[in-house]
Amino acid sequence: MTRYFRDYPARTGDRKLFKMEHYLELYDELLGGWQGRDVSFLEIGVYKGGSLPMWQGFLGPASRLVFLDIDPTCAALALPGTVVEIGDQADPAFLDRIGRAHGPFDLIVDDGGHQMHQQIASFRHLWPQLADRGLYIVEDVHTSYWPGFGGGLREPASFIEFAKDLIDRMHSWYTEDDAGFPLHPLAREIGGIRFHDSLVVIQKRLKEAPVAITAQNGQVVRSRRMLEVRGRRSIF
Ligand SMILES: C[S@@+](CC[C@H](N)C(=O)[O-])C[C@H]1O[C@@H](n2cnc3c(N)ncnc32)[C@H](O)[C@@H]1O
């Protein structure tokens, strides 16, 4: 496994990097397969600009690297080969402009203001700009438990509750309650959701209805019957 992110803090220059330490090991684990690939990348939150060289050194040389921040002084922190856009991550018009100008993205990291309405608005408006098999990463989701950020335990408006709801939407293929739990369009778009300490990762995976297979003696039979069956306790 790569140690790129774990080893990175000791290699920083004069730009300050601001991350939870355990994200670095997680990024080595989660993103190892992306190392050196030419991709389209977006990070919300520039602060002192310390993450720009980190992502630039990890991704391929032809990558498109876009960063955004609400603080106009961050514009001066752009590096050659990167773009820094100034605007509010909760402003739909700004996010739509970012999408039109620079999308679609393979990786999106939200390390911005960490307020509930910001994380949710950014996800809603940037998710359509995430490419198939791309990852949408939200850092510092512990703010979902902080009232000062609009959070609180089981607070319905928190990002954590929003993300838990995505779990249901992803599984809405399998609903037996078409009225109370209808098929949601995100069932066709979410491949997986990972909850880590303070970090949520949502994978885009454009797909048709899941298929069950039976296989024996090399003969594979595919069926979507499980999605047609209603009133059963289990398909198995
Ligand atoms: C935690 S820092 C970013 C750290 C940086 N990504 C790093 O790894 O070193 C958060 C940044 O989010 C920015 N921010 C706060 N509210 C924002 C908003 N509504 N829209 C865009 N950026 C915002 C702040 O100005 C600040 O620079």
Span 166-216, pLDDT tens digits: 999 999 988 778 888 888 999 999 999 999 999 999 999 999 888 889 999
pLDDT at 230: 57
Q: What is the mean pLDDT of residues 8-18?
A: 97
pLDDT at 142: 98
69 and 86 Cβ atoms separated by less than 8 Å: yes
Side chain identity, residue 52: L
CA–CA distance, 28 with 186 (Å, rounded to integer):
28
- % of the chain surpassing 90 pLDDT: 86
- % of the chain surpassing 70 pLDDT: 96
pLDDT at 231: 58
> Chain-wide mean pLDDT for the chain?
95
- 47 within ligand 1 shell (Cβ under 6 A): yes
pLDDT at 19: 96
- 50 within ligand 1 shell (Cβ under 6 A): yes
Q: Per residue in 147-169, pLDDT tens?
A: 999 999 999 999 999 999 999 99
Q: Examine the pLDDT at 140 and tell me if it is beyond 60.
A: yes
- 86 within ligand 1 shell (Cβ under 6 A): no
* CA 18–ligand 1 middle distance (angstroms): 10
Q: Examine the pLDDT at 121 and tell me if it is beyond 70.
A: yes
Banded model confidence at residue 138, pLDDT cuts 50, 70, 90: very high
How big is the CA angle at 44 (ends 43 and 46), to the nearest 5 degrees? 90
Active site residues: 114
pLDDT at 232: 55
pLDDT at 181: 87
CA–CA distance, 55 with 105 (Å, rounded to integer):
14
User: In sequence order, what are the residues at sequence separation of 6 or more whose Cβ sits closer than 8 angstroms to the Cβ of residue 184?
Assistant: 168, 169, 172
* CA 12–ligand 1 middle distance (angstroms): 19
Question: Domains (ranges, CATH) in the chain?
Answer: 4-211 (3.40.50.150)
pLDDT at 210: 85
68 and 85 Cβ atoms separated by less than 8 Å: yes
Q: What is the pTM of this model?
A: 0.96
CA–CA distance, 137 with 66 (Å, rounded to integer):
15
Atom of ligand 1 nearest to the CA of 88: 20
Closest among 1, 26, 11, 42 to 141, alpha carbons compared: 26
- 111 within ligand 1 shell (Cβ under 6 A): yes
* CA 213–ligand 1 middle distance (angstroms): 46
Q: What is the mean pLDDT of residues 131-139?
A: 98
Q: Per residue in 35-81, pLDDT tens?
A: 999 999 999 999 999 999 999 999 999 999 999 999 999 999 999 99
Q: Examine the pLDDT at 233 and tell me if it is beyond 60.
A: no
- 158 within ligand 1 shell (Cβ under 6 A): no
SS (H, E, C) the chain: CCCHHHHHHHHCCCCCCCCCHHHHHHHHHHHHHHCCCCCEEEEECCCCCCHHHHHHHHCCCCCEEEEEECCHHHHHHCCCCEEEEECCCCCHHHHHHHHHHHCCEEEEEECCCCCHHHHHHHHHHHHHHEEEEEEEEEECHHHHHCHHHCCCCCCCCCHHHHHHHHHHHHCHHHCCCCCCCCCCHHHHCEEEEEEECCEEEEEECCCCCCCEEEEECCEEEEECHHHCCCCCCCCC
Pocket test for ligand 1, best of 20, 27, 42, 46 (most atoms within 8 A of CB): 46
